[in-house]
Chains A and B, each alone.
Chain A
Amino acid sequence: MSGDLAYLGLAEAAALIRDKKLSPVEYTTALLARIDRHDPELNAFIALTPERALTAAREAEAEITAGRWRGPFHGMPYALKDIIDVEGIATTAHSRVLADNGARSHAAVTDRLEAAGGVLLGKLSTHEFAIGGPSFDLPWPPARNPWNRDHFCGGSSSGSGAGLAAGFFPAALGTDTGGSIRNPASMCGITGMKPTYGRVSRRGVVPLAFSLDHVGPMTRTVRDNALMLQVIAGHDPADPASADEPVPDYGAMLGQDVKGLRIGLIRHFYTQDVAADPEQVDALDAAVRLFAEAGAETTEITLPPLQDFSACGQIILAAEAYAVHEQWLKERPQDYGARARERLLAGAGLRAVDYLQAVRWRLQLRDQVAAAFSNIDVAITASSMDPACRVDDDAALAANYWRQARMPFNVTGQPGLVIPAGLSKDGLPLALQLVGRPFAEPMLYRVAQFYEEATGWTKHHPAGIAD
């Protein structure tokens, strides 16, 4: 298969499929062959569903040929993190604990993607229960980074990030409780959106922490990300946290420049609270200069220290996750991998009052951030503080868990979008994070796409998996 087809974007592929210049069956067949060739070295997939995919692709092709094109996702190959239910397929959460957990119905997001005509290729690797990884003591190996397979690909939506960077599919879903969409987006050089809390239904998704969990789109480009969010966003009465807010046109502001926009730089997160790798700092400084030269008003803003958000978020996460896992940890602790078990046990001894104080603190932090955002249109800050470390470096992996500026926006529920921002001297992706007001995803896409077109970073792909 030509590299062009592997790295075809969702928007480009959709136009070709609509115009009957690209067959969904040929496209799906070509991607499945690429996965067959390269996934044994990358482990992006836990379960491939080729027969199901080809059936869906044939049906899509027949409908489109008959003039019944449903929209940009019709005939589009995609894949799901394996904590998202697909009827008839096991949702394992990459854990021995749920190895035989056959799903009896679709998750809400699966329903939406199927209704849009999507072609599911399979279920993707995750850190165990979206918290413990990368791990080598589980029934499936951890995903590897296509930029350098000796390096961490981020997580917990690790297969989603690795598979996109490897050209296995143009779109995937991830989930994000403390940064699990934005971390692999940073490490793999792709685009990951954690939408506003409640924007996308969590029904049918294995929970990690109820009040911090988000589902969101992962793609290679900004436009593709907006297209996928358009399909999955919307109110769902079956999700108690679902927001009953109108769904805007996520592509409406694409193509606009940044002149006159007020862009706030949260620099203290990555220079003062935590000292980021100099190459990452340089990439962020360069982005701010680019926005300023394009006519944006850039100014530094100050939020509470990063450690406050980390503490508040980690206490809430640990308490809520332990509520999910308590019984299993008591009865079958040996069925967890070491990393998940350790992180989940953090919630075992928490007192109710500590959880409640954290949940009360959360509103205070949210209000402080909202006040800072009242004078800006969008903020820019780091996602990860470092490029991807080696996957066998335990100390660096442990540091990766907290050397990040993603948890603040799980705590506040604001949207956060991570996009590629260059390559390190070692050839590993650097990234930046854009943060918006609640439900202001179209503004994030506008600013991100402006940066993407000005820099061209999303056109860079890993070497070594060209065919």
Chain B
Amino acid sequence: MTDEVRDRARALGLDRLTDEHLEQFERATTDMERHLKRLPRDMPPTREPAHIYRAKRPTS
């Protein structure tokens, strides 16, 4: 396992991962990169997220 992967995991607070876990972490994040490449980055500023915060109506 490369130090780069270990360091990346540690930076995320994942300092108890074994070498086997780190291999899984690397495969998982590499696979996620494939999905991230498809994310559109040019959406108009006014396009809101699918779920937004709602104020809670007072109960009394």
Task: Tell me the A residues contacting B by CB distance below 8 Å.
Answer: 211, 307-308, 310-312, 314-315, 318, 326, 329-334, 338, 341-350, 354, 356-364, 366
Q: Most A CB atoms within 10 A — which of B28, B29, B34?
A: B28
B55 at the interface (CB under 8 A from A): no
Complex: A93 Cα to B36 Cα, angstroms: 29
Known: A333-B17, A357-B43. A342 touches B32 (CB 8 A): no
Complex: A359 Cα to B52 Cα, angstroms: 10
Is A346 a contact partner of B31 (Cβ separation < 8 A)? yes
Q: Could you list 24 examples of A-B contacts with CB < 8 Å?
A: A307-B38, A311-B39, A314-B35, A318-B32, A329-B14, A330-B14, A330-B15, A333-B18, A334-B16, A342-B24, A342-B25, A342-B27, A342-B28, A343-B28, A345-B25, A347-B32, A348-B14, A349-B32, A357-B39, A357-B43, A360-B48, A363-B47, A363-B50, A364-B40
Q: Which of A310, A318, A329, A363 contacts B49 (CB 8 A)?
A: A363
Complex: A329 Cα to B28 Cα, angstroms: 14
Q: Which of B14, B28, B47 contacts A333 (CB 8 A)?
A: B14
Is B40 a contact partner of A357 (Cβ separation < 8 A)? yes
For residue B29, give the distance in angstroms from its CB to the closest CB of chain A: 5
Known: A348-B25, A361-B39. A314 touches B50 (CB 8 A): no
Chain A residues positioned under 8 Å from B18 (CB to CB): 333-334
For residue A59, give the distance in angstroms from its CB to the closest CB of chain B: 36
For residue A365, give the distance in angstroms from its CB to the closest CB of chain B: 9
Complex: A385 Cα to B28 Cα, angstroms: 23
Complex: A346 Cα to B9 Cα, angstroms: 12
Please give me the residue from chain A that is nearest to B38 by CB atom: A311
For residue B44, give the distance in angstroms from its CB to the closest CB of chain A: 9
Is A330 a contact partner of B29 (Cβ separation < 8 A)? no
**How many positions in chain B have a CB within 8 Å of any CB in the partner chain?**
31
Is B28 a contact partner of A331 (Cβ separation < 8 A)? no
Complex: A314 Cα to B17 Cα, angstroms: 23
Chain B residues positioned under 8 Å from A331 (CB to CB): 16
For residue A103, give the distance in angstroms from its CB to the closest CB of chain B: 27
Complex: A330 Cα to B13 Cα, angstroms: 6
Chain A residues positioned under 8 Å from B35 (CB to CB): 310-311, 314-315
Q: Which of B24, B32, B34, B43 contacts A341 (CB 8 A)?
A: B24
For residue A318, give the distance in angstroms from its CB to the closest CB of chain B: 6
For residue A141, give the distance in angstroms from its CB to the closest CB of chain B: 21
Is A354 a contact partner of B39 (Cβ separation < 8 A)? yes
Q: Most A CB atoms within 10 A — which of B8, B39, B51?
A: B39
Q: Which of B15, B34, B48 contacts A363 (CB 8 A)?
A: B48
Q: Which of B28, B29, B47 contacts A360 (CB 8 A)?
A: B47
Chain B residues positioned under 8 Å from A329 (CB to CB): 14
Chain A residues positioned under 8 Å from B48 (CB to CB): 360, 363
Chain A residues positioned under 8 Å from B14 (CB to CB): 329-330, 333, 345, 348
Is A211 a contact partner of B40 (Cβ separation < 8 A)? no
Is B50 a contact partner of A366 (Cβ separation < 8 A)? yes
For residue B18, give the distance in angstroms from its CB to the closest CB of chain A: 7
Is B47 a contact partner of A364 (Cβ separation < 8 A)? yes
Chain A residues positioned under 8 Å from B16 (CB to CB): 330-334
Is A349 a contact partner of B36 (Cβ separation < 8 A)? no
Is B36 a contact partner of A345 (Cβ separation < 8 A)? no
Please give me the residue from chain B that is nearest to A351 by CB atom: B36
Is A359 a contact partner of B27 (Cβ separation < 8 A)? no
In the A-B complex, list the 9 residue pairs whose CB atoms are closest, starting with the nearest.
A342-B24, A346-B28, A311-B35, A359-B49, A311-B38, A362-B50, A345-B28, A345-B25, A346-B32
For residue A453, give the distance in angstroms from its CB to the closest CB of chain B: 38
Please give me the residue from chain A that is nearest to B41 by CB atom: A357
For residue B33, give the distance in angstroms from its CB to the closest CB of chain A: 10
What 18 additional pairs, Cβ within 8 angstroms, besides A346-B28, A348-B9, A357-B41? A311-B38, A315-B35, A326-B13, A330-B13, A330-B15, A333-B14, A334-B21, A341-B24, A345-B28, A354-B36, A356-B49, A359-B49, A360-B48, A363-B47, A363-B50, A364-B40, A364-B47, A366-B50
Chain A residues positioned under 8 Å from B24 (CB to CB): 338, 341-342, 345
Chain A residues positioned under 8 Å from B51 (CB to CB): 211, 359
